[in-house]
């Protein structure tokens, strides 16, 4: 496996991951702008009633994000195999579980939209709230993925350690927010504070890794050395 991977430059996988992250940033922002607001079922319902076509575009944007997430999971797995094959596989699986749960969540949005079209807002809110809970559960898996990813980068030797540190800090924010949404009955009253705990480190860490992968990639010589060591 490692020999076949080594036949392709790691810069290729770095660029694929970087482009995938870029798609995630652009279409993730677009999805929120077009009416899908994770964690805010009431606002999302209002956006559906205001413009169903824009809402459908928002769902399409999220689906593009999820496809990009799956591609990033693959590219990062290959990129980090020389560091630790088992942990690289674990990180990829956690991200793919996140993709799977979030994909199912898209069905809840489509069902909610049908109820709103039928003026059954009670049922619509039930599915929108289920979507919100599912989103929070999905981000638990994503937070674990980010933690393992940060550790792998920190230990890799061919990607700057500081990027790994940024990701580990971001993972703590994801996990605090997601578990708080499940465990705390007063979560809604402190939602903005929790959002900041997630958003600030997440933007810094994931934007940093995106730019690094696109512009610098990895230390090819060191990556090849680690690949040979892991044979």
What tens digit of pLDDT does each residue of 51-99 get? 778 888 888 999 999 999 999 999 999 999 998 999 999 999 999 999 9
Q: Where are the alpha helices (DSSP H) in 81-120?
A: 85-117
- DSSP codes, 151-213: HHHHHHSSS-HHHHHHHHHHHHHHHHHHHHHHH-TTGGGGHHHHHHHHHHHHHHHHHHHHHHH
Mean pLDDT of 100-113: 89
34 pLDDT more than 70: no
H/E element, 34: none
pLDDT score for 196? 77
pLDDT score for 35? 66
187 pLDDT more than 60: yes
d(CA 201, CA 221): 30
pLDDT score for 227? 83
Specify the residue for token string 């928002």. 58
d(CA 1, CA 57): 39
Cβ atoms within 10 Å, residue 29: 12
Residue spans of the domains in the chain: they are 2-229
pLDDT score for 151? 96
- Under the banding of pLDDT at 50, 70 and 90, the label for residue 37 is low
- Under the banding of pLDDT at 50, 70 and 90, the label for residue 146 is very high
**Which range has the worst mean pLDDT, 107-111, 147-151, 210-214?**
107-111
Mean pLDDT of 93-106: 94
């Amino acid at each position: 496996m490692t020999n076949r991977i080594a036949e392709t430059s790691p810069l290729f996988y770095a660029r694929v991951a970087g482009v995938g992250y870029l798609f995630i940033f652009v279409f993730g922002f677009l999805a929120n702008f077009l009416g899908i607001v994770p964690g805010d079922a009431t606002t999302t319902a209002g956006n559906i009633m205001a413009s169903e076509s824009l809402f459908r575009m928002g769902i399409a944007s999220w689906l593009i994000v999820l496809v990009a997430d799956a591609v990033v999971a693959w590219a990062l797995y290959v990129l980090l195999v020389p560091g630790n094959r088992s942990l690289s596989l674990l990180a990829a699986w956690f991200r793919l579980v996140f993709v799977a749960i979030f994909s199912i969540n898209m069905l809840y949005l489509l069902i909610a939209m049908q109820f709103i079209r039928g003026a059954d807002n009670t049922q619509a809110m039930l599915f929108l709230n289920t979507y919100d809970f599912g989103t929070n559960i999905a981000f638990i898996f994503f937070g674990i993925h980010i933690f393992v990813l940060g550790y792998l980068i920190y230990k890799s030797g061919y990607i700057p350690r500081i990027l790994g540190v940024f990701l580990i800090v971001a993972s703590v924010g994801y996990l605090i927010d997601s578990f708080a949404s499940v465990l705390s009955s007063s979560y809604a009253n402190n939602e903005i504070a929790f959002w900041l705990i997630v958003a600030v480190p997440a933007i810094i860490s994931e934007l940093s890794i995106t730019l690094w992968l696109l512009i610098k990639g990895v230390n090819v010589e060191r990556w090849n050395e680690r690949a040979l060591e892991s044979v």
